[in-house]
Amino acid sequence: MLEITLIKTLTKLIASLHGEEAKPVVIYYLNDEKQPRLSAFTVDDDKVDDNKTETSVSTSLQPTIINCFQSGEICRLTNTNHANHMFYPLKNANGQIASVIGIAYPPSDIHSEITISMVLQIYQNYTNLINDNECDTLTGLLNRKTFEYRINKVLAHNSSSTKRREDKPDQAYFLAIFDIDHFKRVNDVFGHLIGDEVLLMFAQLMRQCFRESDPLFRFGGEEFVGVFECSHEEDIKMILERFRLKVAQFSFPQVDKVTVSAGCTRISDFDTSSQLMDRADSALYFAKNHGRNRIAIYEQLIMDGELHEVKKEGDIEFF
C-alpha cells in the first residue's frame, strides 16, 4: 500500500533529521464528516509487514486535524511543549481529502518542513499519475483493467490468512456486481449526457455508502463491482441493502428515481477471479429476473434451492 510506504519513508527521513528526538509519523482518517471521528495509525519501520498500528488521537490536536480535512490546506499547531505539529492533506483520485499526515518538528525547523513538503508533493504527483491510469475517467472509480490486479491481491491475502484464521475467525471477503436497472431506458429517453450524470451520481453514492478501504470499480456501462470485508458473514446483506435503499430513495437530476440490482458471492480461499465473477453474475441474473431493485446472495440462493451448482473439472455451471 502506497500510504504505508510513504509513512515508512517519512519516518526514516525524520529520524535522519532529528535523531532520538524524532516523533512517529501519524496518518489520520476522518470516518464521518457529519459527526467527525478521527482514527490514527503509525507504522513500525522495523517490521517487514505492511500493517498499521492504531494509536490515540490527542484531544488538543483534533480541531486542527479536522480543519486540515475540511480545508484541504496544510495546517500548523504549536503546542505547549513548543513543538510544531504540521498536518498535510493527501488527496484521492477524486480530489477529496482521503487522509492527513501528521508530523511533529522541533521549533523553527524550517529545513525539515521544506524537505517534507517536497517529498509529499512528489508522492501526490506520483499517485495522481497512478490514478490517471487506474481510474475510470467519468466516475473516478477504479477501472476494469485494474480489477484483475486488485482482486488477485485480495485472493492472495485471503489464502494466506487461512493459517491465521484463529485471530479473525469471522473475517470474510465478498464480491458484488451492481447493475443499474433499466439504464438503457434512461439513455433512450433522456440522452447520454443525463445518463452520464446518473452514472456519476451513482458512483458518488457508492463512495458515500461504502468504506474508503472497499475497492470500487466501474466495469463499463451501468455495471459496477465492489469488494468488501465484513466482520460477520451476515453483515454483507445489510450493507448492500442499505446501499440499495440509498439509491432507490435518491432523486437523480431529471430522471428522478433509479434502482439497482446486485449479485454477491463470498470469496473462498482458492477462488479465481473468473469463478467469483461467474457466481456473482448468476446471483445478479437471478435478482434481475425476480423483480429487480433487490440484492441476491449466491450462497443463500444455493441453500434455498433457487440456483443449482454443478462442478465439472474445476468449472462451475448453473442450471
**Helix, strand, or coil (residue 204):** helix
Q: What are the start-end ranges of the H helices in the chain?
A: 2-18, 62-71, 110-134, 144-160, 183-190, 192-209, 235-249, 273-289, 298-303
Closest CA to 38 of 110, 127, 102, 116: 102
d(CA 62, CA 69): 11
| β-bridge pairing 172-180 and 260-266 | antiparallel
d(CA 175, CA 268): 10
Residue holding cell 449466491?
A: 298
212 with 245: CB under 8 angstroms? no
Query: What amino acid positions are annotated as catalytic residues?
Result: 222
